[in-house]
A and B are shown apart, each in its own frame.
Chain A
Amino acid sequence: MDNAPAIRISNLKKLYDSFVAVNDLSFSVFPGQVLGLVGPNGAGKTTTLRCISGIIPPTAGQVEIAGSDLLSNPIAAKKELAFFPDEPRLFDYLTVRQHLAFVARIYGVENHETIAEPLLEEFEIADKADQLPGELSRGMKQKLAIACGVLHSPKVMFFDEPLTGLDPLGIRRMKDSILQRARAGAAIVLSSHLMHLLEEVCTHVLILKRGEKLAEGSVSELVAQFSAGESDVSLEEIFIRATGGSER
């Protein structure tokens, strides 16, 4: 594992008018780590992911992606990241192959066909390569979105509720995919309500509530922090204890 974090967030703050969506949030993720963002509804998980992936500007704070500051040097930082929204959002009139071709051009991926073809095979969408998204199932669209995201071999990946709408097989593949990218050295941040996903996939967990960090650490550290001496305390129980069992 590298000594330098791939993601370094310092004092991140996001205001919507006077509403504080994220407040003074700091954390780091190293290559190969998978950080799970958890929190009740409205905790600021999606806002955090959108801010640190450069989709919306933060009100204050610093975001560093693979050594580049996202605010002062957005192009360099964005070259190293990929963001996966909860719903695969695709262009209606671009085929599967054209999506990959477009992404390759945007990220300046040379000889993208040599990368795209194995990706199509890996995600089992090679036979759909010339079809439009309207002809694909929800799972296929999700696979295409991921294929587009990993095409440029990002060092940093953000997943917003990655298991939304997937069937059991899709869930299994998504988990494998996340773990595979982490093993390959990517730093990953994902948000989810599903504790089993976090337990199986994440090396670290950050609990958010009302935009503020309640706890952060490896899964074992959090267990130690919130188990109060009990054994076999699940992550779900830790989450409930940490958040006080309510959204507010």
Chain B
Amino acid sequence: MNATISALFFLRLTIIKNGLVTRIKRLKQPKYLFGGIAGILYFYFLIFRQFRFGGTAATAHVTPPSTIVDLYYSSSTTVGALVFTVLALLYWLWPRTRAALTFSEAEIAFLFPAPIARRTLINYRIVNLMLGLLLTAFLFSLISSRSSYLSSNMLMRFIGWWILLFTMTLHSIASSFVITRLLDRGITSLKRQLSVFALVVIAVVAFVLWTRHNMPVASDGELMGVDELKSYFMRLLNTSPLSLLLLPAKLVIAPAVASTWATFITALCPAILIAALHYLWILKSEVAFEEASLVKAEKRAAKVAAMRVGKFRLGESKQKAAKEPFSLAKVRRPEIAFLWKNLLATAPYLRGRTAWISLLVVVLFCKWLTNGDNEILRSIVLGVTSVIAGYVLFFGPIIARQDLRNDLMNADILKIYPLRGWQVVLGEILTPVTIVSFIYGLFLLTTSLCLHAEQYRWMTPVIHWSSTLAVAIVGVLLCATQVLFLNAAAILFPGWMQTGQSIGTGGIEVMGQRLLFMAGLILIIALAVLPAALFAALVFFLTKWFTGYVIATTLATITVIAILVVEIIFGLEWLGQKFEAFDLSSELRT
């Protein structure tokens, strides 16, 4: 074997082996050991138990009639091919810069100045991609296994998905190489995009004209039902012009949706041929990718470094001085200064003006929705927004981390401020609570505005809006409770929260850690809500005989709010003391 190729194999294999050894070694730490156990159990009970790799599902797999399977195979291939073709077109339409292959900074430092041919580097990258796609293909085959029309054979689906994903990746690389060549020849991105767009428009217009002439809609009633519409659509996709256009994509997709070994084997050869042609295309259109790869690696390294210290913001490319969220001049409370500081660290659109605009949009949209003849849409919006409001309340505090979870590294600075511990904690939690509460409130408002309160006789406007307000207040308090818990976890178990200083932040054990953390969060929320719920129930049942449902509900709600407020006050005081006693140097030493 060529010495360079052997060295690159040595590199890849050693990295994989040492990565595994490091992961196994770190299981000596309880946080990884328990995380690992939780992760393995999760995978076993939710995924692996249902399947035997290479065989059939452990649970009975009901085979649908062959005609239905054939129909499904044909339609899923066609629809999949359409999606694949659109995605492939997007590679050409999307504004892309010069070709960049993904290399780490270490790979660039060692491999780019080394006596390695550019083609070998491309091959090295492609082999890495092939390996990297194994996990994605595995996950896709697990997800697609839920379809009873597909083959129950895991291996078949896995290979099919892998070929599909690999071909897509090769197409992305090949298109980026061609685009770079065009750039080198003076064809700008805009010119290329306009040319591709013009071709797409011509193709669409030609197809529409052809369809009008050859496949007119027979009658008005033909497209009334969903099934009829689906059938017409499938016939359109399978007519000769479009069918020919979709043929390459169909060939790529066919193994992933094959239901039997016979169809799979038949579909495999053309799919591999297309992947091989893409590979040859890449080698043929080889361009200088080093410069853009270097920039990409630097950006990636900067992002990873920012993530490791908890300073990464989604979608952010470069840190810029942000506009102040509000003026500090008239602020007297130091806690509000923390809110100001942490809001500055968030995305620039998370500001008061955006809040007012979104509020206005929601009100106008709901007004239009409830006034017009939009009953179906209104019901959909009502259902979706109520579910999203719940999700925001539960997941929002985990995602919004502009508090001690991000600022823990600055604990020494925070501790020299002339403030009590609870003031620092309160100040720190204000930002996530404000952001999450507002988003939650927006969805709650949409739900409330879309609700046909007049359908219920007992729901007067006063009851409707006071209930909305009560749900909003309870939601905000629950959000504050969760954020407080998450900050307590950061102070009490910084090793679990700040994993940034160790290498290898992924893996089943880290996933298990997160699962355990979520379980803890659910438990704490349940414990926090339990006293409030019990007292509220007691108040409700004691008073409803004398005052009726409305007043009893009001009193119960006030009880819930009062108990949650008391819990938060005690929580702040307790966590403030813990923060004052927190020793950053000993806790974060690695």
Contacts and interface: CB of A to CB of B under 8 A. Distances in A.
Contact of B294 (A56, A81, A91, A98): A56
B18 A94 contact: yes
A4 interface: no
Contacts of A103: 110, 114
Contacts of A90: 106, 109
B114 A89 contact: no
Contact of A55 (B4, B18, B290): B290
Interface stretch (B6-14, B145-153, B165-173): B6-14
B503 A91 contact: no
B18 A95 contact: yes
B294 A55 contact: yes
A28 B111 CA distance: 25
B267 to A, nearest CB: 38
Contact of B6 (A98, A105, A132): A105
A54 B110 contact: no
A125 interface: no
B14 A54 contact: no
A24 B504 CA distance: 44
A11 B461 CA distance: 81
Contact of A93 (B4, B18, B118, B290): B18
B108 A82 contact: no
Interface residues of B, number: 34
Name which of A55, A57, A106 has the most chain B CB atoms within 10 A of its CB: A106
B502 interface: yes
Contact of B115 (A78, A91, A101): A78
B15 interface: yes
A102 B18 contact: no
Taking each of B6, B110, B118, which has the highest tally of chain A beta carbons within 10 Å of its own beta carbon? Answer: B110
Contact of B113 (A54, A92, A94, A95): A54
Interface in B470-484: none
Given A55-B294, A57-B288, A57-B290, A106 B4 contact: yes
15 contacts: A56-B291, A74-B115, A77-B115, A78-B115, A89-B110, A91-B107, A91-B110, A92-B15, A105-B4, A105-B7, A106-B7, A132-B18, A134-B502, A145-B109, A148-B110
A74 B16 CA distance: 30
Interface in B4-53: 4, 6-7, 10-11, 14-16, 18-19, 22
Contacts of A78: 113-116
Interface in A50-83: 50, 53-57, 74-79, 81-83
Interface in B103-132: 104-118
Contact of B110 (A57, A74, A79, A102): A102
A57 B504 contact: no
A77 B503 CA distance: 35
Contacts, number: 98
B3 interface: yes
A148 B3 CA distance: 17
Residue picked from A56, A95, A101, A132, most chain B C-beta under 10 Å: A56
A200 to B, nearest CB: 26
Contacts of B113: 53-55, 78, 81-83
Given A55-B294, A89-B109, 8 more contacts: A75-B117, A85-B109, A89-B106, A91-B15, A93-B504, A102-B14, A105-B4, A132-B503
B386 to A, nearest CB: 45
Nearest to A55: B112
B503 A134 contact: yes
A106 B110 CA distance: 9
Contact of B114 (A50, A57, A107, A134): A107
Contacts of B19: 93
A93 B14 contact: yes
A16 to B, nearest CB: 8
Nearest to B9: A105
Interface string A130-174: 001010000000000100100000000000000000000000000
A102 B11 contact: yes
A54 B15 contact: no
B475 to A, nearest CB: 43
A108 interface: yes
A95 B15 CA distance: 9
Interface string B200-243: 00000000000000000000000000000000000000000000
B108 A92 contact: no
Contacts of B18: 93-95, 98, 132
Nearest to A57: B288
A105 B10 contact: yes
Nearest to A51: B291
A119 to B, nearest CB: 16
Contacts of A75: 115-117
Closest 8 CB pairs of A and B: A105-B7, A89-B109, A93-B18, A78-B115, A83-B113, A56-B291, A89-B105, A75-B115
Most buried by A among B7, B104, B117: B7
Contacts of A50: 294
Contacts of B504: 92-93
Contacts of B114: 78, 103, 106-107
A184 B572 CA distance: 67
B14 A94 contact: yes
A79 B109 CA distance: 15
A24 B71 CA distance: 66
A176 B110 CA distance: 23
Given A85-B109, A103-B110, A91 B3 contact: no
Contact of A91 (B11, B116, B502): B11
Nearest to A75: B115
Given A79-B115, A91-B11, A107-B114, A55 B108 contact: yes
A104 to B, nearest CB: 8
A94 B11 contact: yes
A120 B504 CA distance: 26
Nearest to B4: A106
B115 A107 contact: yes
B112 A54 contact: yes
Nearest to B16: A93
B101 to A, nearest CB: 13
A135 to B, nearest CB: 10
B22 A93 contact: yes
Query: Which of B15, B115, B118 is the most central at the interface, judged by chain A CB atoms within 10 Å of its CB?
Result: B115
B187 to A, nearest CB: 14
Nearest to A105: B7
A92 B15 CA distance: 8
A28 B529 CA distance: 76
A171 B109 CA distance: 21
